[in-house]
Structures are given as C-alpha cells and as structure tokens.
C-alpha cells in the first residue's frame, strides 16, 4: 500500500481537497495506521493552526472588501 504524501495530508487539514479526495484520505487512513498517525500529527501541529488562522484572516479581509464603504 502506498502512503499518502505529507502535502496531501496538509491539504486535507487545510480543507483544500475535493470531495473525492477527502473520501480517498478518509478511506486510506482506516486501512493505514501510519498515515492515520501522520494525519493526527499534522492536525495537532502548530503549523496547521497557523495556516488555519491565516485562512480565517484572509476570508475576513475578503468579506470586508466586499462591504460598501461607510460615509
């Protein structure tokens, strides 16, 4: 069995995968304890939290740009 790449696991934790790719990851980790551990490590890593925070900030900024300016 081929393992999931760390990049693929990172994209999963950052919610950057298609529905089909999400299903692929979730099916794979049920069969592969090593990838399940790697996924858990990535979820708990400070980097995942940092990227998640950056994503949240980016979405808020984009949302604010779409609002009409106050006068």
- Give 1-60 pLDDT, tens digit per residue: 799 999 999 899 888 999 999 999 999 999 999 999 999 888 877 655 555 565 665 666
Instruction: Say how far apart CA 41 and CA 69 lie, in whole Å.
Output: 43
Q: Is the whole-model pTM more than 0.85?
A: no
What are the structure tokens assigned to 15, written together?
A: 């919610």
Rounded Cα distance between 36 and 15, Å, is: 17
CA 51: distance to chain centroid? 9
Q: Which of 56, 63, 28, 46 is nearest to 9 (CA)?
A: 28
């Amino acid at each position: 069995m081929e393992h999931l790449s760390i990049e693929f696991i990172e994209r999963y934790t950052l919610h950057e995968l298609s529905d089909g790719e999400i299903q692929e990851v979730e099916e794979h980790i049920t069969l592969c304890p090593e990838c399940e551990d790697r996924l858990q490590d990535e979820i708990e890593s400070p980097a995942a939290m940092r990227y998640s925070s950056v994503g949240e900030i980016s979405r808020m900024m984009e949302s604010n740009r779409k609002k009409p300016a106050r006068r």
